[in-house]
Chain A
Amino acid sequence: METETGLANPIEQAFQNHIDGLDTAPAWWTEFKRQSFEVYANMPMPTRRDEHWRFSDRSRLETIEGFSFDDSHSATISHKYSEWSNIASSETAALTFVDDQLAEASPLPEDFLQAGVIWLPLAEAIQSHGDLLKDYFMKQAADLGSEKFAQLHAAFVKSGALLYIPKGVEIENPFAVFNWSSLSNGTIFPHTLVIAEENSKASLVEFHGSIGENPALSCGVTHLFAGVGSKIDYTLVQNFNEQTLGFQINSNVAGRDSQIDMHSVILGCQQYRSETHGQVKGARAHVDMRSMALTEANQEIDQRTLQTHAAPNATSNLLFKNALMGESKTIFSGLIKVDDKAQQTDAYQTNRNLLLNRTAEANSLPGLEIEANDVKCSHGATTSEIDEEEIFYMLARGIPKPVAQELVVYGFFEEVLDRIVDDTLAESARQMIRSKFHH
């Protein structure tokens, strides 16, 4: 018992139980987790002086160990998510997790299996594809402020999706991952790893949401690796309930001549911290990162981005748009880094904020660090209210003011939404936006 053995706090106990539950996992995996937990435990929480946490509300960070990390008595899976099962349509194959337990898996079509495509829940991939994971799993540093939470993720992660596309294989329809949280004070650690080999092509859509209104912690990681000449298109729609605390750490690596498109639709969470690092590592790569967030009440959406160019003739393009209602707050901090080898880089970074209420607060910290001399880089941030003349024009057509404002907001986000590869998911996202105006 805890008191008798003197075992310290609940998170340590929970971690021990987590490791004990991994009895069939390979030794490297449990060892990796132990190390991660140790680093997590010894790393201080971000402080006020930490530039990466400027403007952020850090008070909830201190309370994260109050969530329940204990997964030793696995609860029965809530199947309420099935009401949402038509959220995306054109999937090649889908994985659904509820509270980090696999709830449903639609099989990978036989021809893709034959072609060598790997599409597995993480727990299975650890058993069967350990060598692949050793090379790729959590190999990208979380260098935008959330290293502690990346270590927490590594310590507790147990579910997620591995997608491996072999050389030359092109798959048109997206793969889909659904991550639901339902337990009160529960924790989930969604992990998505996409590896696209030379000249392959794949897309993946991911949805994060809550079943019910219980507060929870989600601490997710998405890593994309685009090999030479490959294409990855990735969309994350985050619609947790507004009691949830969320961290999402994204990183992508673009090889020579590859293309990565990464889109985020952010609607939920009381507080959400997202970090995205787009890394151009090969010449002529193209990385496109778009995000939209609609905030209300006292939500805080805190996004930090980094575009690094280490190879020449490549482009990266970032567009993050936020529309703020109520007393909500957004933070956008973006940096473009171009090193001296990356001549003829085109790198753009744009943050646009639309204030629907004057007491909402949009913070913007754009930045550039350029060491090459022959580049085209720009960054821009604007914060504005809805143009009254635009509203007048719509009113003059008989459209009531709330509807007019809504239309302006949909219009504002369309630049992001119309890039989502799965039309049904895009439409679902529009519905979720709509319901945010009507609850």
Chain B
Amino acid sequence: MSQSLEITNLNVNIGDKRIIKDFNLTIPKGEVHAIMGPNGTGKSTLAKALAGHPDYEITSGEVLMDGESILDLEVDERSRAGLFLAFQYPMEIPGVTIANFIRAAKNARLPDGEDLNAPAYYKELYEKMDALKIDRKFTSRSVNEGFSGGEKKRCEILQMAMLEPKYAVLDETDSGLDIDALKIVSEGVNALRGGNLGALVITHYQRLLNYIIPDQVHVMYDGRIVKSGDKSLAEELERKGYDWIKEITETAA
């Protein structure tokens, strides 16, 4: 059984429009891969399709998590199986506190009838909030309601840290973060890195990759990966811009 998140020949439609096209990518456990690509190229579509969003129709292809297909699993089952998506645009849930929200997510992972040990839960929550420099007062605030852009992103990483997924897709978690927050969030991701987590980091900025050093960088264009390389690819992309990618894609075609 391969320890990886393996996406093969994936095709995703939104309505009648084909967005993800014969997409292939394997992220071995323990590695961090980055995806860069122009606006509208399908990065978030890929992320949401992996999570199982009902508007994103997988017309063909396969997604295996540690050798098991996740495509027949419901959204919540995929999450409990160990897949995590940090949203590009996290939703606000009025009246539901962060503490209760994460608690419900953790409770859902326990066997039927078992309940979370509250003191242990809060201890863990506070530790992880402290590490991410999130004020403890946030536990009693409604999820994402009235949060600044950066606070929302930090809260996504807090959720990831609390849920300890096997694979995580971080969709532009760096956008909206100031330099300090970027460092903190990167540390948060790096702390989970290593043997237990495989991550796909979607970003527009090479800067993030100075903090979360990727094992591989992929450039996505028009629904598929058109170039892969190491960290230096991100630097090259930053220098040459997406016109360069457009060129090599068109000459290749």
Contact = CB atoms under 8 A, between A and B. Distances in A.
Q: Is the interface of B mostly helix, strand, loop or mixed?
A: mixed
Contacts of A387: 91
A411 interface: yes
The winner among B93, B94, B102, B105 for most chain A CB atoms within 10 A is B93
A306 B55 CA distance: 44
A399 B162 CA distance: 14
Given A397-B159, A414-B95, A407 B101 contact: yes
Contacts of B80: 398
Contacts of B92: 390
A393 B90 contact: yes
Nearest to A400: B76
Contacts of A400: 76, 108
B207 interface: no
B91 A393 contact: yes
B74 to A, nearest CB: 7
The winner among A388, A397, A404 for most chain B CB atoms within 10 A is A397
Nearest to B89: A389
B233 interface: no
B53 A392 contact: yes
A388 B56 CA distance: 14
Nearest to B86: A396
A396 B95 contact: no
A396 B96 contact: no
B109 interface: yes
A396 B93 contact: no
Interface residues of B, number: 29
A411 B163 contact: no
B170 to A, nearest CB: 13
A398 B91 contact: no
Interface in B50-72: 51-54
Given A393-B87, A407-B101, A399 B95 contact: no
A398 B108 contact: yes
B96 A397 contact: no
Given A396-B85, A397-B163, A398-B76, A403 B108 contact: yes
A399 B104 CA distance: 6
Interface string B70-86: 00001110111000010
A408 interface: yes
Given A407-B100, A411-B142, A398 B109 contact: yes
Given A392-B53, A392-B75, A398 B95 contact: no
Nearest to B94: A411
The winner among A387, A399, A400, A404 for most chain B CB atoms within 10 A is A399
B89 to A, nearest CB: 9
Contacts of B96: 407-408, 410-411, 414
A206 to B, nearest CB: 24
Nearest to B95: A411
A225 interface: no
Give the interface size class of chain A. 20 to 34
Contacts of B74: 395
Nearest to B76: A395
Nearest to B90: A393
B50 to A, nearest CB: 10
B53 A407 contact: no
A358 interface: no
Interface string A371-415: 000000000000000011110111111111101100110111111
A415 B108 contact: no
Interface in B157-215: 159, 163
B142 A397 contact: no
A394 B93 contact: yes
Contacts of A394: 93, 101, 104-105
The winner among A403, A404, A413 for most chain B CB atoms within 10 A is A404
Contact of B95 (A403, A404, A413): A413
Contacts of B109: 398
A292 to B, nearest CB: 11
Contacts of A410: 95-96, 100
A390 B143 CA distance: 11
A396 B78 CA distance: 8
Contacts of B85: 396
A397 B79 CA distance: 6
A3 B92 CA distance: 68
Contact of A399 (B51, B54, B90, B105): B105
Contacts of A399: 76, 104-105, 108
A398 B79 CA distance: 5
B93 A395 contact: no
A396 B102 CA distance: 12
A287 B142 CA distance: 26
Contact of A395 (B79, B94, B102, B159): B79
A403 B109 CA distance: 13
B85 to A, nearest CB: 5
Nearest to B85: A396
Contacts of A412: 94-95
Contacts of A395: 52, 74-76, 79
The winner among A387, A395, A396, A401 for most chain B CB atoms within 10 A is A396
Contacts of A393: 87, 90-91, 93
Nearest to A389: B91
18 contacts: A387-B91, A392-B91, A394-B101, A396-B52, A397-B79, A397-B104, A398-B76, A398-B105, A398-B163, A399-B76, A403-B108, A407-B100, A407-B104, A410-B96, A411-B96, A413-B95, A414-B95, A415-B95
Interface of B: 51-54, 74-76, 78-80, 85, 87, 90-96, 100-102, 104-105, 108-109, 142, 159, 163
Given A394-B101, A399-B108, A411-B94, 19 more contacts: A387-B91, A390-B93, A392-B54, A392-B75, A393-B87, A395-B79, A396-B78, A396-B79, A396-B85, A396-B87, A397-B101, A401-B76, A407-B93, A407-B100, A410-B95, A411-B93, A411-B142, A412-B94, A414-B96
6 closest A-B pairs (Cβ-Cβ)?
A411-B95, A414-B95, A398-B79, A395-B75, A393-B91, A411-B96
